[in-house]
Amino acid sequence: MKTVIFDLDGTLADTSGDLIAAANACFRQMGAGDVLCPQGDAGTAFRGGKAMLRLGLERLDHADVEAQVEQWYPALLEAYAADIDRHTVLYPGVMEAVNALQASGYKVGICTNKPEALAETLMQRLGVRAAFASLVGADTLPVRKPDPLPLREAVLRAGGDPEQSVLIGDTVTDRKTAAAMGVPCVLVTFGPDGRTVEDLSPEGLLDHYDDLPGLVMSLIGKAAA
């Protein structure tokens, strides 16, 4: 079966506000106040908790940044889990596109570098977990994106064929993941990086979810083909 796999943060949902709030909670515990900006640092938020901690610690000219990143990462995950959906929203047209893909016969799933338990909680809170046949997180397997194995696993768990799949994402990590598995990648243009993702040479660019079903068909063909 032909399968469409989605990244989560920055692709299905704008999670940046809650991610940055969790990082700032750590910086406040350090006595530094809010170091990251929900608007200006959204792009870093989509690159993960450690990236946010690293950016903030560098701004504070902290000694031994990497050691501090590792030390504070569990606290960030705890803060994020405690308030995971205060600001998070699905991007416009997401579920209409997912429903249209399923109605056409495509399998759909999720492959994210968010820890699996947090991804499961968030999708449940947003009320859309049941729409996706699989969810593979950063810790589901011993490796994470851009290693292709999590993407492959997400396809298989959805009941699909890895060779007839496409990855929808928003960063260079997704681009590298799809390339490593030899399948097309579509990058969204409505994230913080805008249309600069075109520089990553994905097989497709997505300006709005209304266009996704047609774009998927152009890249991997009709579901029944």
Query: Exactly one of 7, 9, 174, 193 is catalytic; which is it?
Result: 7
- CA dist 188 and 46 (Å) reads 13
* Identity of residue 5: I
**Nearest CA among 10, 85, 86 for reference residue 51:** 10
Strand pairing of 13-14 and 89-90?
antiparallel
* Identity of residue 142: P
Strand pairing of 165-169 and 3-6?
parallel
**Nearest CA among 38, 36, 37, 35 for reference residue 15:** 38
Q: Is 7 a catalytic residue?
A: yes
Strand pairing of 185-188 and 165-169?
parallel
Residues recognised as catalytic: 7
